[in-house]
Structure 1
Amino acid sequence: MTACYLFPLALTASPQAEEGEAVRLAGGLVYASRFALVEREGGRITARRRFSVPELRAALPDLPPEAREQWDNLRRAHAPLQFGQRTVRLDQPQVMGILNVTPDSFSDGGEFLDRPDVASAHAAAMLEAGAAIIDIGGESTRPGAPAVWEGEEIKRVIPIVERVAAMGAAISLDTRRPVVMEAAIAAGAHLFNDVSALRHDPRSAELAANTGVPVVLMHAPGEGEDLHADAGYGNVVLEVFDWLAARRDAAIEAGIAREKIVLDPGIGFGKTLAENLALMNALPLFHALGQPLLLGASRKRMIGALSNEAPADKRLGGSLTLALRALEAGAQIVRVHDVAETVQALRVWRGLRDAALTDFTLLPA
């Protein structure tokens, strides 16, 4: 069976730069002017054709239905996410701030565990710095981290969820356990950020469907306690794409509204440095899935691998580089530790984008 993938090859800061021959990706601030249609059969790429926007529009009637669906998905504008009384728009990139209430997370393990005053002060600082969402987690998902009993996870996260909810914040809970998520929703959480993409517990999809909360489905190769296990890719980009498409479809079949589904390619989860870099370079392709994209690469091991093994707390430069790469690719949400620095980078990037709408190379009217 032949599969096809419509990949935005050439991105531009404004449609004017291409005299209108560029399309807006995912209703955001990034435009694409050239595309590659890649065909794959039996795990092997069998064809690759390139198109300008006019050429692609002319060729669409003769392309496979899958390619036409991806063309529509690439241009799909995403409705805002509703978090209680707060609305998070997806026509511009947003920052999600990380708050780990764990003893063993790779970057900040133990910093906020059993210190609710410190944790809530950190959340307040991230909100003041410009975070649109606070992502609270009570279990480390780094390689080799032990699983956490759901009762212990609830004990860690619920007091912080309650405090952050009292601030009026949009709250995401980073968990793969529906019992924990259910308790968090009751305490004021709004988004189910599941690193297992609703596979860890069959009740997760039912909870998300019944409560109507948005969900983040992240790619990870492992199906058991170790999400990093069972990795092995022939083509990491296309296989992660297919996997996320299958999880999106499974979520919709389970009754989760399509507009409530966000996808995450899972940088660092069961992937080598080369595979992570390939995914980062291919991020625009994932808009062809038709869902908002979340990118979480902050302080991850790939940065250390490329910077003389810098420790996690010395990876700000690399984290900002990857966050900006995500913005350039049109990702809607970047999940980060260093909120103030990322928000500043985002605002400067946004200023450049706004300025690009006036193209200095065009002839005067």
Structure 2
Amino acid sequence: MSGHLSVGDRWRIVSLYYDEGNNVHEIANLVGCAIRTVYRILELFEETHNITERNGRGRHMALNNDEIYTLRQILYRYPNETSSNIVNRFLRRTGQLVPARTIRRYRQMLGFRPVHARTQAFITTIHAQQRLDFCLSYATNQWRNIIFSDEKAFVVDVSGVVYYIPRGRQRPIHFQSQVRYRVAIFGAVWYNGRSNLIFINDRTNTTTYVEYLQEALNGHLHRLRHYHFVHDRPRWAHTTLAHDWLESNHIRCMDDFPSVSPDLNAVESVSSWLNKYVQSRHPNSQRHLERLVQRAWNAIPQVVIRGYIRHIPDICNQIIANNGWQSIG
């Protein structure tokens, strides 16, 4: 096994693979090591439940392998607790008192990063039951013949900050008068490709929605025969006109896709990626925002899209475990 990786790096490889679902190629890029090194560490962990072949390899750590494993379990179970609270939980589990700064150092070393919680649409009991029924039916699906689609709006306020919001959702009152630039788009992704990106200039209705479908999927239809189509249930997406167009092109609409379920639509994660790309480049005009959105759509790697789609069975299992309520993401 390569000796240049620290114990922390090796535990991070285990975490990225088992806890976050990354493949070995992605892990090698994230950690900065050879693919064969990732394979060897994962094989060693599966065989020995450890990540070192003998004592003394890697940088000296304050915690041993068993303690790091215990800490990792605590961090995953209690993701929103402070380092001081983790200290107490770690003490009860191991009998060892460590400083909060040590917890923070290991938390960073193991690949944990601070994030804000995602906004989740309000779910009623009826919605939860629909989500549960859907996930029970499709949890084992590989999702490789599904087209995920949606409309999104990218907005830049007077401070130059980009927000991404579902098209049609009302912005907060304090934000409405501050809009400088706004771009609405329609797009779709699937396991081995993505649609043409459509810029929306007018209100969407039943007729214009079918036009978006035609423009977005133009040039791709021959590869999408017998696929299933997902849209986050706006009224104009589930009409006879839209269904007839999809069926005429041998695409079946997934009518049982549940309401208020953006966590099950991979294009939502794609939109988040696009938003980060656009925001980091600070659009300074309407035209600049449009160019950045198009550039982001072209730039997102297909392997990233595949990762979002491969994650959906995990989302389904989380929803099943929560009886239809929110997933962790």
Q: TM-score, normalised by structure 2?
A: 0.26
- Whichever of the two has the greater Rg, that structure is 2
Question: Which structure's residues are more often strand, by fraction?
Answer: 1
Q: TM-score, normalised by structure 1?
A: 0.24
Question: Which structure's residues are more often helix, by fraction?
Answer: 2
